[in-house]
Chain A
Amino acid sequence: MAKINRKKLAILILVCLVILLVPCSLTIDKVRVAANLSERGALGFNNLMADVLWVETIQYMGEAKKITDEIATTIYQKIERITDLDPHFIMAYRLAGLTLSNKRPELSIRILSKGLENNPGASWEIPFYAGVISYFRLEDYRGAVRYLEAATTHPECPDFIKRFLARATTEVGSYKDALLLWEGIYEETESPTERGIAARHLIRLCSQIMEISTDRNLVAKAKAILRKISE
């Protein structure tokens, strides 16, 4: 008799535990949604897979001498996959945004705004890059202002952006601004790849300025920057 009761008790406890599992599960679901912890398959190894693809992409970009339309599209697709797997991979958005800005600015904006959506307030670089590209490449000034404003809400946003934003709302882009911005990126970034991209932009920009500009100050500045980069 006592034995049967023990078994029944065990089954009862089992049922209770199973029932408890449901509210526990629902609570976690709720907290996860609130904390914006998104699900990304890959059996829990999504980040690792993103990293593998990332290294691949970096290599691909390194090997590509010149970013053609085709290469830009491939990079875009790779970055899409990477950021699907790891939506918080800020650097992937940043790098893609800069790399694609010349050939495919619209893809660049697309990937940057995906980054902004997935990581609101996480980085000032993403909206800043989007702003710069909108401003200079797409000449979408309203969009640029919107992105730059988003960038300035970030506590670590450097002052030059705020200054640029102040003028961007009134003026249309110039070499001077472009120089200022790329120099800003060049100085601010901690990523060698990004720095390289910024350096290339600066070199092109500076040589353009030296060729066509009549503003002495600007030419002098361009020369100074070129010297700094070549060091």
Chain B
Amino acid sequence: MNIWTIGVNSFKRLMRSKILYVMAVFCLITIAYASLYGTLTAGQEGKLMKDVGLAGIAAFSILVAILVGSTVVAKEIESKTIQILLAKPVKKHEFLLGEFLAAALTILMMTAIMGVGFLIIVAIKGIATAALVNGVVLVFFEAILLASIAIFFSTFFSGMVASVFTFIIFVFGHLTYQLPFLVQRAGNVVVKFFGNLLYFALPNLQYFNIRGPVAHNLNVPGSMIFAVIVYGLLYSSIMILASALVFKSKDFA
């Protein structure tokens, strides 16, 4: 109840911030660009449009996730509005979940608007497929995961630092797939151990990228999409729970 109230309030305030409008405009430009891009080339406008559109949706969703995730909690701490809220009968985890909800709603809205706009354009071209929706859905869950990481970082650091760290995680999260290979080649047991640890500790963000296969109309098993969503939710829950534990013993001075 409180979670919902806090979440909706923060969501409402986020919707009033100009940055999201700017984002929306950029996104429209991207989608327009995608449809333009397609007309250039030899019999490949379908693939190009899908690639550029999906990449645009992914880029903006992730940007929004990092930006919003690293500000929802941090801004309330930095501007001390959190003190007013926590001086009321609000538990710290309720606050945290509320802010996470706000971030999730914002991401959902952005991704949904971009996704629908994209699908309409693709449908007009007559190249829409159901799999494209799957591609967008996994982008959403990747963004949610990154937002939860940003929230986790903002329980220790300022919003600025949290966003930088989240971006670093984003980069490494897309590179973890190389770890098993590197671990295999490492002779040292200690290196192997830490390599494996890193592999499971860092979020494997490549899981969420089925944009290539989707743009090529390749079959992506439903079971895998389901497993990836479970993975995303699991990882996000871990981040939020860890944030709640940090919050529990945090001073709001």
Contacts and interface: CB of A to CB of B under 8 A. Distances in A.
Contact of B231 (A13, A18, A28): A28
A27 B229 CA distance: 12
A157 B227 CA distance: 36
A39 B219 CA distance: 16
Of residues A32, A42, A44, A88, which shows the largest number of chain B Cβ atoms within 10 Å of its Cβ?
A44
Contacts, number: 126
B227 A40 contact: no
Given A28-B207, A35-B219, A37-B210, 13 more contacts: A20-B234, A24-B231, A31-B223, A31-B227, A35-B224, A43-B170, A43-B174, A43-B175, A47-B215, A54-B48, A58-B40, A191-B43, A191-B44
B31 to A, nearest CB: 13
Given A32-B224, A37-B213, A55 B238 contact: no
A33 B41 CA distance: 32
Interface stretch (B52-60, B74-82, B98-106, B120-128): B52-60
Contacts of B170: 43
Interface string A189-206: 111111000000000000
Main secondary structure of the interface of A (DSSP, over half): helix
Given A11-B245, A88-B218, A25 B204 contact: yes
Interface of A: 7, 10-11, 13-14, 17-18, 20-22, 24-25, 27-28, 31-32, 34-35, 37, 39-48, 50-51, 54-55, 58, 86, 88-91, 95, 189-194
Interface in B19-62: 37, 40-44, 47-48, 51-52, 54-55, 58-59
Contacts of A194: 42-43
Nearest to A48: B55
7 contacts: A14-B242, A44-B208, A45-B59, A51-B52, A58-B40, A58-B42, A190-B43
A39 B177 contact: yes
A86 B230 CA distance: 27
B86 interface: no
Q: Contact size class for B?
A: 35 or more
B200 interface: yes
Contacts of B218: 88
A28 B227 contact: yes
Contact of A51 (B48, B200, B204, B210): B48
B118 interface: no
Contacts of A10: 241, 244-245
Contacts of B171: 43
A47 B206 contact: no
B216 interface: yes
